[in-house]
Amino acid sequence: MTNATAASAAPRKPTTLHRLREMHAQREKIAMVTAYDATFARLVDDAGVDSILVGDSLGMIVQGQGSTVPVTLDEMVYHTRCVVRGNRTAWVVGDLPFGSYQESREQALRSSVALMQAGAHMVKLEGGGWTADTVHFLTERGIPVCAHLGLTPQSVHALGGYRIQGRDQAGADTLRKHARELAEAGAAMMVLELMPSAVATQVQADNPGMMTIGIGAGAATAGQVLVLHDMLNFTRGKLPRFVRNFTAEGGSAEDAVRRYVAAVKDGSFPDEALHGY
């Protein structure tokens, strides 16, 4: 066996926060997808994703809800446990669902502990402004936090629907301000959803040490995330323009995820002309 063959056959080491930061520093793109159960967690991990998001999008994808709002903390804990059982090496991010962190910093801590004890490596919460204090409170206590700005689905009713955020100057300035506050509060990662590519580029430039993960936010972010069922063309109905069908070239679901990882890494996804705003 040659050294190259031995290296390719070697098992992948578990992804750590330190490793993700190394990747970002070396400008290697981070490939993240959602998963909600052990079977798909094993599949995407074997396909080489760097991170799995156990998203509250399970409310719509798995439960058939109209939004993420009805998802409970107990349900997130259950699905996180399922994903962790199937995963071996990817970095697991668990979503804090609506109502599990808005009341107080202490409530956010209790909810985060529940997700971490279920096996999550990091928790994610939505919104800016008031959330910076919560992020600081959690990170001081050793809980890695992923922030989430732009379209924040838990606030869909307040936002007036699934709309692109930051289109005007005031909105863009607010997003950049909130991103700086969250980065200063200690958030290690930040999902940027459904915003103009130019705004996401500015957010990343403002916070060079922050690992921004885009979904409908252009190609300048440190990585990308997609809902697994969307990119595998399982989801019925019209999909957002930022989604690419990775099953179109044929093969298995794992082949499709491997194509996604490769496209994120080489920068061919997202294509600004097709997937950007």
225: left (phi over 0), alpha (psi -120 to 50) or beta: beta
User: One digit per residue, pLDDT tens: the chain, 277 residues?
Assistant: 344 444 445 689 999 999 999 999 999 999 999 999 999 999 999 999 999 999 999 999 999 999 999 999 999 999 999 999 999 999 999 999 999 999 999 999 999 999 999 999 999 999 999 999 999 999 999 999 999 999 887 876 665 556 788 899 999 999 999 999 999 999 999 999 999 999 999 999 999 999 999 999 999 999 999 999 999 999 988 899 999 999 999 999 999 999 999 999 999 999 999 999 9
Query: pLDDT tens digits, residue range 41-68?
Result: 999 999 999 999 999 999 999 999 999 9
pLDDT at 153: 77
d(CA 136, CA 141): 9
**Residue 140 annotated among the catalytic residues of the structure:** no
What radius of gyration, in Å, describes the C-alpha atoms of the chain? Answer: 18
For the residues of 56-87, what is the DSSP string, one character each? TTHHHHTS--SSSTT--HHHHHHHHHHHHHH-
User: 21-28: which pairs have CB atoms within 8 A and are 24 or more residues apart?
Assistant: 21/188, 21/209, 21/211, 23/50, 24/209, 24/211, 24/222, 28/265
Question: Could you say which of 75, 103, 181, 193 is catalytic?
Answer: 193
pTM of the model: 0.94
Contact present, 11 and 55 (Cβ < 8 Å): no
pLDDT given at position 4:
41
Closest-CA residue to 206 (of 233, 173, 229): 173
What does the pLDDT read at residue 165?
A: 85
